[in-house]
Structure 1
Amino acid sequence: MGMDVPTKVIKLKLKFEVARDFGIPGALAVENKDKHEFFLKSARLRYINNPGILNYEYFRFYCGSWIYPISNTRIKRIFFSNQLCLPKKTPKGLEELRRKELEELRGGSKDERKPWDRTYEYGCYNDLGDPDNGRQHARPVLGGSPQFPYPRRLRTGRPPCHDDHLAESRPASCSRIYVPPDERLSHGKQEELKNNFVYALVRFLAQESTRPPLSNHECPDLVAKIAQLFSIEDSKFILSIVDFFRRKPKLPPNQDSSNNDLFGIEDLFADKEVKGLEDSVKQKLRKLVPVEIFDKVAATAAVKRQSVSSQPPSIITENQWAWTEDSEFGRQMLAGTNPVRIRRIMDDDPKLQGGELGELIEKKRSEKKGLFILEHHDYLEPFLKMINGNGVCAYATRTILQSGSTLDPIEPIAIELSLPDESDGSHDIRVFLPYDDLWELAKIHVACNDTAYHQLISHWLHTHAVVEPFIIATRRQLSVMHPIHRLLDPHFKDTLHVNALARAYFLNAGGILETTLFTGEYSMRLSSHLYKQWRFDEQALPADLIKRGMATPKEDEKMKEMPAEPESVKTDDVVESVERDENLTEEDVVELDNIPVTETQEQQPTFDAGVKLILEDYPYAKDGLEIWVVIETWVKDYCKLFYRGDPDVIQDTEIQEWWSEIRRVGHGDQDQGWYDINTVEDLVKALTTLIWTTSGLHAALNFGQYGYYGWPPNRPMLLRKFVPHEGTPEMDELDAQPDKFLAQMMPEKFQMAFVIAVMDVLSRHTSDEVYLGQASPGKVWETDEIKKKFEEFGEKLKQIERNIKKRNKEYGLLNRWGDAKIPYMLLYPDASNTIAARSKEDGKPEKMDINERGIPNSISI
């Protein structure tokens, strides 16, 4: 609403007189004659005296919508009752209203949209550039052309720029971005997100006060007095205990503590007092955030004796240097922020034959090793000449990884770095092996590439952007009376507004991603280039895993098995895994293949997705497939209540128009990967894919960002140095001062601190979140049959959470923890349970984090 006023709920009791034979009320017409809008939550009607209808029976209307003055809208609002029906079963008295309501939502006017408009039209991404602010801010239009294909977004109708009539002018402020009223973030959520961002920026960007650190200031005398009672060695031990409780990261045994803060950012996570922003920080920050955010950050940071503390990101909480381990690098490709890019190397891959890399692959094949590749080469190489320069240094990369069995840790065994051919025909292709002196630098370049792919493709394009046309088509073509509209509605909450904010401040010219990612101004062009490879039929999780060779259909008898699992687990590995969670005791942890079978276990449901994982210890896939199966079961059960057979699907005019519009318009630039929806099975497959994308997939890609990106050396967004060649001044510089070289290779401190703050905000669940398997507030399912199926859906999700927690305690599943000791919790279905509730459930507390837990229904952050 935009006004910071107290919220109050008003209940009105009204009486109407209708004809005795009026029948069952199916729609309400509401007219607001006041000068202010109001939010209508719900209504319910019942007859007081009608012998033909039970007097105690209520007819419910879930409205959940803003009602603007009739002087603005010129039309009354129509709300239909909660009873759902397919188009052909619409009561005669509602047929015309159902049709007119959809026509109203489709709009038609080309004028700029007003706050009270409820229109859903498609537009291209012509709002990312700002050519009126200079040629350097111009960006191509994405969507509507073979050169730059892209999903459509919600049209706003803002006037064109003066210097380029194909480009849409920029919004004046966050509050002026048009989205239909019912799609907007609530005022409370907007304030919560704003405050989260402000406090994160203060924590990580404000300069430290000259006062002692907060934790030392609170109890210096106590520590000193205790230390006086012991010898020097004992006092060191006491101080180490204090450090432990301050969550100070541990150093590896061979690390020199005198040079602990190699990257100059460890102090960002310390308890401290701050004293405002430095002028240089203010200048940089002003260009990246809205003015209302900047002003609040500056004011908050200037408060005298402002005390702040930060939770260190998970990747350094237990061991500051775990991210440097090869096994941790490999584990993050299966359980980190981007577990959807790795694929198995097939025998007939022509791009991996010949050359040094091809010879290595053939040798490993003869050893019957499981081989995988993380490829950031073919799509990136054409962009490198444009990207490199202005302090950015990037390669096209191929990384070969190996796993000895389905349960062995996966580790990189070779990295190929290449630059595009020069005009004289020379080219730079180098292969690095684990024991090479420059191996660590090569790994950092791979991590940087994977970071950009994650942000632009896996996260933004494959969830946020591709879902937007589905939302627009649903509002335009499926009546709120349609059962599929009701099924999908919780999974579209807030997405259109979140995407509009992303276009305004993250994806725009000079915005957050262009400033922090090495792809710079070419970021969205790269995203458009990779949209050409996107196919809807491959977004189903089982299909995606099969395409990447990470799973095979169970009926495939020709499946090539991985090498047999080792018969035993080394004792050292077992001890390491037990240390990963201080809340786990030895009896909590069980051997993978030695779990005692109990009667309860035998009765536990299984979730079979019809595929067999090549790597059994693939946390994202293992947990995700269980989530996928129960979503599919819920969707199937729901659809069967309305569609008695395939003819019902074919005759459903709204569904057919919905699907046709998605293919022809919303994703009109991509004609591959679509199938007809002529059967219940086809409909279930499409709906399951869509719900998985908005819930499980987005959760896996978003909520671990602070845990991994919060320590930029682990997932840098850009690098400022190439890997040096022998005999060059750069190599001499590396040999003379390796620490200095590595620090200069990373982004500058402001960029790293700003990224940490952004990741902190993106990884937090907001207080109004609704999680998978939970009903939206105020909305109830219309029949007992639907309620029962939805409750079964929720119970199965709770069972999956128990399954995940059990797997997170098993010795042999090393990819669930790794060297950094981070349990895989990104696909825990429900984050709303409190620590107390979880403690009561299994008898002990579980370590909580600001992120990494819970699957929201929708892409709402």
Structure 2
Amino acid sequence: MLEKLMGSVCGKIKDDPKKVEQQRKIKGTVVLLKKNVVDVTDVCASIKDRFHELFGKGVSIQLISSVHCDPSNGKKGKLGKETYLEDWVSKFTSLNANDEAKYDVVFPWDESVGVPGAFIIKNHHHSQFYLKNVILDVPGHEELHFDCNSWVYPTHRYKYDRVFFTNKTYLRNDTPEPLLFYRDEELKNLRGNGKGMLKEWDRVYDYAYYNDLGTPEKGEDYARPVLGGSADYPYPRRARTGRRPNKKDPNTESRLYIPSLKAYVPRDERFNQVKLSDFIGYALKSVGQVLVPEFKAVFDKTVNEFDTFQNVLNLYDRRIELPNGHTLEKIREHIPWELIRELIRLDGEKFLNYPMPDVIKEDRTAWRTDEEFGREMLAGVNPVIIRSLTEFPPTSKLDPRVYGNQNSRIMREHVEKNMNGLTVDEAINNNKMFILDHHDALMPYLRRINATKTKTYVSRTFLLLQDDGTLKPLAIELSLPHEDGDAYGAISEVFTPCDHGIGNSIWQLAKAYAAVNDSGYHQLVSHWLNTHAVIEPFIITTNRQLSVLHPIHKLLKPHFRDTIHINALARQILINAGGVLERTVFPARYAMEMSSVIYKDWNFTDHALPVDLIKRGMAVEDPNEPHGLRLMIEDYPYAVDGLEIWFAIESWVKDYCSFYYPTDDIVKEDSELQLWWKELREVGHGDLKDATWWPNMQTRGDLIHTCTIIIWVASALHAAVNFGQYPYAGYLPNRPTMSRRFMPKPGTPEYVELESEPDLSFLKTITAQLQTLLGISIIKMLSSHSTDEIYLGQRENPEWTADDQPREAFKRFGTKLVEIERKIMERNNDGRLRNRTGPVKVPYMLLYPSTSDESKIGGLTGKGIPNSVSI
């Protein structure tokens, strides 16, 4: 793994030494990482930079005054003398990323410049370097901190000066006049000119449609519609790359020919070397874990099938035996040794074996129980869909002129036999009926989906809240488009629980079809669309319109880390035409198109957790409750833990924003803030710009609520729907992503097989072996924390702001999160709360913040709330 190196240099003053001795000096520290250390394979970088130093082409810094303008240079801040960094050649640079070295830098004190508020840095070397921070000790003043965290390329790569500001915070109207030009100019540079293909050294944040998913030159099967910019296919914007149009379809952007990590994202948004190394390591090992089981499957009696549940379990609980005497040496004939060496990472896993998913660690069959099936709607990987049932039978919102009658065909006699003596009306009136409903979201695409290799239904699952707090599945309604056409409505069949014989086998299949729906919706909407995709425009707009000096930029910046990069990688290998998602999730080629249609109903304000719970009927307002909400299911782990996290974030954001915005008028008069919000609505989420639910951004309340939602979505919501993927879906029979044949009908060979070999029939219905291996490999990678992860309540640099009150408020936020961790552990240990662990004995830890240093271990921890959508 490539490691960081902290290096720095001493100041080299070109004035007469005796004169300098008489002057007062500004002393400080510069910390940077040289390219040849970050990328140890680049031997030339160090040699060429040393050569440049010998000829006087080094790195210079000029301080910019925050108090005095230069009369000869308009209103720009007065510049100090240019100072060159020395000892680049002679200073020893450690190869240990954790062995930080600090070196002095000295500037001549110039009274006419006064206290600096920024500096210009020029890199005359051949190679770029990563500037982490600069600390200056100005005589008679407090220590100045410059939190830089940026790659600085050679000067010829830029048409402007690289400027860095102190960690002081200013609204634009309060910015010292000498810094105002540099503040505005920096934002102008980050916006770019909207033209040309962007290069790695460009720092441009700009918008584009999702027009880079298809490869139409491969044929119609690989063509995909442009998402965004139309009423038919609205979508959030992504970061622009400027690649040339595809020769086959000029509306499609050309793609990189080989799956690559080199897709353009603004350089400072790319993974750092620790994160990139972890990502590649997890990816390579996941790929390796696919190869041998699939190779072995060639010798099975049924190719590309699991014959028994034990075949599936063999992926985890023992070393994989290679077929027909094949050894590691034989495998080397097919896999490069460099890859094998990477696969054998010291992460505690068996070579080429998957780690045991949590859902089957304690009990190999508990996942099949009805109680666990219902519990995972409250505490699994997708706990954000279930809602209260308020009408029976439920009606559809699909246009009957297009889709006919799509209302539910369920009847009271289907469910009342299992309702413990209650009637449907009594259960609804007492808030005891719930539904997991994927019917309307998926039905418009089901006919096209089933024209592929997929053979599945859309589902409605009905549940009863019992006195012990658990959910009891009552019925599952499976529906297909009418064979005579969409306008004829749906063909539906209702299945109810049965605990023996063929009836039980049919019920297990019905649950599997419902799980297929939920898995696909989770990946496409709950996870990708509602966290990854919707957050990216906020990142782009923030960098284009809010200066690094702006308080809201400082507040939100940690919650944007790595998101643009992981989204770019997703477009390259996951959500593209023929990518992993299309190969492993049932909507296949219609996956992203379907998510676009669902985006039409996206509502930013609905992502406030209290609003979401009330809208789904999972909570009601109650002033007697601690947070003013009463949950309809008291033991709803996602909601219980989530509300504590939500209100902790809200309290922190309120304290922070109130410090900089003591009145509503300041919000209205903040020009950068208003431009930020206008561009976000009209461009970043421009296809929904006319929606009436957008906050007006005229009050402190609007600002606080908006920032709280952004932070919640980027941190806690993403954690709740992402890091449980491998614990629950790593064993794919629990959450299959595809179904390949319909429910067997009496009198058919499939029905006979279901009677005689129900497990084999189940496995032949759900995801096939290769798709299973690909699917669990990718979710294993996506469920793994990087070792450099920064979690909610943590900051990379304790000197992120010079203002004491916001820093104190942030400390209170961290203390509150520690208290929430304690409460979560107490709840998980309370045996009365059956939904906290369930039959599978998996404690709910997905909203456990992980504030301690133990969080730095990385990997499949099954807990922790990273600050951002970072994987």
TM-score, normalization by structure 1: 0.81
SS of residue matched to 2:372: helix
Shift of the alpha carbon at 1:793?
0.5
**1:616 and 2:616 matched:** no
Q: Say whether the 8 Å CA contact 2:443–2:458 is kept in structure 1.
A: yes
Cα distance in 2, alignment partners of residues 308 and 163 from structure 1: 41
1:852 corresponds to which residue?
Answer: 862
Q: CA deviation at 1:348?
A: 8.1
Match of 2:410, SS state, is: helix
Is the Cα contact below 8 Å between 1:264 and 1:749 reproduced in 2?
A: no
SS of aligned partner of 2:787: coil
> Retained in 2: the 8 A contact 1:204–1:756?
no
Shift of 1:735: 2.2
Q: Alpha-carbon deviations, 1:400-442, whole Å to 9, x = none?
A: 111034x520121011001001127585310011124421111
Task: Write out per-residue CA displacement over residues 629-677 of structure 1, whole angstroms, 9 at most, x where no aligned residue.
Answer: 1100000001111111100100111111111111100001113221201
2:284 to 190, 198, 209: 198
- Structure 2 match to 1:170: 255
Query: What secondary structure, in the 3-state scheme, does the structure 2 residue paired with 1:176 have?
Result: coil
Confirm or deny: 8 A CA contact 2:274 2:787 kept in the other structure. no
| 1:826-848: CA deviation from partner (whole Å, max 9, x where unpaired) | 111116543999xxxxxxxxxx9
Aligned to 1:815, what secondary structure does the other structure show? helix
- Tell whether 2:182 aligns with 1:97: yes
Tell me, in whole angstroms, the C-alpha distance in 1 between the residues paired with 2:608 and 2:393.
Answer: 24
Q: Give the conservation status (yes or no) of the 8 Å contact 1:707–1:851.
A: no
Instruction: Pick from 227, 239, 244 the counterpart of residue 159 of structure 1.
Output: 244
1:231 is matched with none
Q: Distance in 2 between matches of 1:779 and 1:723?
A: 61
Give the alignment partner of residue 756 of structure 1, picking from 756, 770, 776.
776
- Alignment of 1:537 with 2:628, yes or no, is no
Instruction: Letter of the 2:40 partner, please give it.
Output: D
Residues 857 and 427 of structure 1: CA distance in aligned 2, closer, same or farther (over 3 Å): closer
Match runs of 1:125-524 below 5 Å: 125-172=210-257, 173-207=259-293, 261-262=308-309, 264-272=311-319, 297=339, 307-347=351-391, 351=395, 355-357=409-411, 363-367=423-427, 368=430, 370-405=432-467, 407-423=468-484, 425=488, 428-435=491-498, 436-437=503-504, 438-524=506-592
Distance 1:132 1:277, change over 3 A: farther
- Residue in structure 2 matched with residue 44 of structure 1 by the alignment: 135
Which residue of the partner structure matches residue 674 of structure 1? 694
Give distance in 1, aligned partners of 2:352 and 2:247.
45
Unpaired runs of at least 5, structure 1: 211-258, 280-290, 557-606, 838-847
Local SS of the residue matching 1:674 = coil
SS at match of 1:175: coil
Counting aligned pairs with the same residue, the percent is: 43
Measure the CA separation in 1 of the matches of 2:682 and 2:703.
18
Supply the AA of the counterpart residue of 2:319: K
CA distance 1:717–1:297, change in 2 (3 Å): farther
State the 1:554 CA deviation. 1.2
Offset of residue 207 of structure 1: 4.7
Q: Could you give the per-residue CA deviations for residues 355-384 of structure 1, whole angstroms, max 9, x where no partner exists? A: 434665783223556001101101211111
Task: Work out the CA distance in 2 between the residues paired with 1:642 and 1:31.
Answer: 33
RMSD: 2.9
Shift of 1:162: 0.6
- Higher mean alpha-carbon deviation, 359-368 vs 485-494, is at 359-368
1:372–1:302 Cα change, 3 Å: closer
Q: What does residue 568 of structure 1 align with?
A: none
Counterpart of 1:73? 158
The answer as to whether partners of 2:641 and 2:847 remain within 8 angstroms in 1 is: yes
Structure 2: distance between partners of 1:698 and 1:485:
21
Q: Higher relative contact order by CA 8 Å / sep ≥ 6: 1 or 2?
A: 1
Judged with a 3 Å threshold, the aligned counterparts in structure 2 of structure 1 residues 269 and 306 are, in CA distance, closer, same or farther, namely closer
Distance 1:114 1:354 in 2: 54
Q: How does 1:611-650 map to 2 (within 5 A)?
A: 611-650=629-668
**Are the counterparts in 1 of residues 393 and 410 from structure 2 also a CA contact under 8 Å?**
no
Q: Check the 8 A contact 2:169/2:803 in 1, yes or no.
A: no
Structure 2 CA distance for aligned equivalents of residues 356 and 632 of structure 1: 42
Structure 1: how far apart are the matches of 2:678 and 2:684? 9
- The AA in structure 1 aligned to 2:359 is I
Partner of 2:87: none
Q: Are the counterparts in 1 of residues 243 and 254 from structure 2 also a CA contact under 8 Å?
A: yes
Output the CA distance in 1 between the equivalents of 2:324 and 2:187.
51
1:810 paired to 2:830 = yes
- Please give the secondary structure, in 2, of the residue aligned with 1:834: helix
Question: How much does 1:270 deviate?
Answer: 2.6
Q: By how many angstroms is 1:731 displaced?
A: 1.9
Structure 2 CA distance for aligned equivalents of residues 351 and 306 of structure 1:
50
Does residue 4 (structure 1) correspond to residue 8 (structure 2)? The answer is no
Q: Does 1:658 align with 2:721?
A: no
Name the CA distance, whole Å, in 1 between partners of 2:626 and 2:207: 38
2:292 and 2:352 in contact (8 A); partners too: no
Secondary structure in structure 1 of the residue aligned to 2:508:
helix
Pick closer, same or farther for the CA change 1:354–1:182 going to 2, 3 Å.
closer
Corresponding letter in the other structure for 1:793: F
Structure with greater proportional strand content: 2
Letter in 1 for 2:701: E
Q: Contact 1:206–1:278 (CA<8 Å) still a contact in 2?
A: no
Larger mean Cα displacement after TM superposition, 788-797 or 427-436: 427-436
Residue 869 (structure 2) pairs with residue 784 (structure 1): no
- Structure 2 portions without partners, runs of 5+: 1-34, 42-94, 297-305, 327-333, 397-406, 417-422
Of 495, 509, 526, the match for 2:594? 526
What one-letter code is carried by the residue in structure 2 that aligns with 1:191? S
* Aligned-pair CA distance for 1:275: 5.7
Contact 2:308 2:760 in 1 (8 A): no
Asked if residue 725 in structure 1 is aligned to residue 772 in structure 2, the reply is no
> Contact 2:168/2:801 (CA < 8 Å) preserved in 1?
no
* Residues 315 and 708 in structure 1, CA contact (< 8 A), matched pair in contact too: yes
Distance of aligned partners of 1:366 and 1:60 in 2 relative to their CA distance in 1, 3 Å threshold: closer
Amino acid at match of 1:272: R
Which residue of structure 2 lines up, in the alignment, with residue 584 of structure 1? none
Conservation of the 8 A alpha-carbon contact between 2:619 and 2:630: yes
CA contact (8 A) 2:668 2:697 kept: yes
Contact persistence 2:209–2:237 (CA under 8 A): yes
* Closer, same or farther: CA 836–477 of 1 in aligned 2, 3 Å: closer
Contact 2:187-2:546 within 8 A present in 1 as well:
yes
The number of equivalent residue pairs is: 733
Contact kept, 8 Å, 1:121 with 1:155, in 2: the verdict is yes
1:109 Cα shift? Answer: 3.9
Q: Once structures 1 and 2 are overlaid, which stretch shifts more, 150-159 or 741-750?
A: 741-750
Q: Compared with structure 1, are the counterparts of its residues 732 and 831 closer, same or farther at alpha carbon in structure 2 (3 Å cutoff)?
A: farther
The one-letter code matched in structure 2 to 1:817 is T
Give how far 1:394 is off.
1.1
Q: Report which stretch shifted further, 259-268 or 697-706.
A: 259-268
Q: Distance in 2 between matches of 1:770 and 1:152?
A: 26
The answer to whether 1:112 aligns with 2:173 is no
- TM-score normalised to structure 2 length: 0.80
